[in-house]
Amino acid sequence: MLSGVSPYPGGVEDWKGCFIMAANIIDGKAVSAQVKAAVAAETAELAEKGIIPGLAVVIVGDDPASRVYVNNKKKACAAVGFHSEEYALPADTSEEQLLALVERLNQKPDINGILVQLPLQEQIDEHKVIAAISPEKDVDAFHAANVGKIMIGDFDFLPCTPSGCMDLIHSTGVEITGKNCVVIGRSNIVGKPMAMLLLHESGTVTICHSKTKNLKEICKTADILVVAIGKAKFVTGDMIKPGAVVIDVGMDRDENGKLCGDVDFESAKDVAGFITPVPGGVGPMTIATLMRNTLTAAKVQHNLK
């Protein structure tokens, strides 16, 4: 079992002076380090057979956030022993040019995984680009073929963020089977696949969204609550079941410009049993899972899996 749970330092006193234990903090940096260490060890074994996993990352334009993500992916590749290639294209790149590059990468034998950094410029249809990536090299698991495999539970790749969230839940030691699981958010990237992964482990899953009625009451039934809606501090402590596992996928800015999540950490930590911080929770897991997917892709393409 991956382990990344550390007790929150101390506790708090309520207005009566009673001591209240605060939540255990799920340390995403620690869990991601374990994932990357396992990937590095297996990569070293493959290297002895002459196989070096390769990841190609394509970035269009000069969006600062995208540039940071791409740089972090390159560093992670180097850390685990992968071959990596970056393709930095100008912002005015046409859809046809990008699709041609994807096809060249599909044919490159030393490239096992292809990642096109999203979002893309308005002149490019990202759905066409995702569809053009070979399903065997689709390490983001966005291709319709891989999405279908996730639905039926027979998959090689999982979307990086939901897969990382599952690792964090597992690190708590909490059994998912039979638990009430609530996912707030229904995106194709996080919400929908997250619900499927919980369902595959026999959780009883409810998906909530902007049209959901009685959201607070539904949240309070959750033994495991995953929040991915992009609204700063939206979920507060009074929406959380005491002792619940709370996974905060959000990456927002609060009223002071400080980085925060979709969960109001200060009020939630005194109610939850386990909770991810922002930053340092889900974020580090996304790149670690990308490394794991690329390793899997290399094994599949060399008939080792």
Residues assigned a catalytic role: 73, 117, 140
Strands 224-227, 180-184: pairing kind = parallel
Dist. CA 3–CA 199, nearest whole Å: 22
- 181: nearest Cα among 162, 194, 168: 194
219: number of Cβ within 10 Å:
23
Contact present, 14 and 20 (Cβ < 8 Å): yes
Q: Residue 111 in contact with residue 87, Cβ under 8 Å?
A: no
Are 58 and 101 a contacting pair, CB within 8 Å? yes
Cis peptide upstream of residue 277 (ω within 30 degrees of 0)? no
Calpha distance 136→76 (Å, rounded): 21
The total number of residues written for the chain in this structure: 305
What tokens does 11 get? Answer: 């506790």
190 closest CA partner among 137, 229, 134: 229
**DSSP code per residue over 126-177:** HHHHHHHS-GGGBTT--SHHHHHHHHHT--S---HHHHHHHHHHHHTT---T
**Residue 134 burial (CB count, 10 A):** 18
CA pair distance 148, 138, nearest whole angstrom:
13
The helix (run of H) or strand (run of E) holding residue 57 is strand 54-60
What are 277's two structure tokens?
Answer: 């911080």
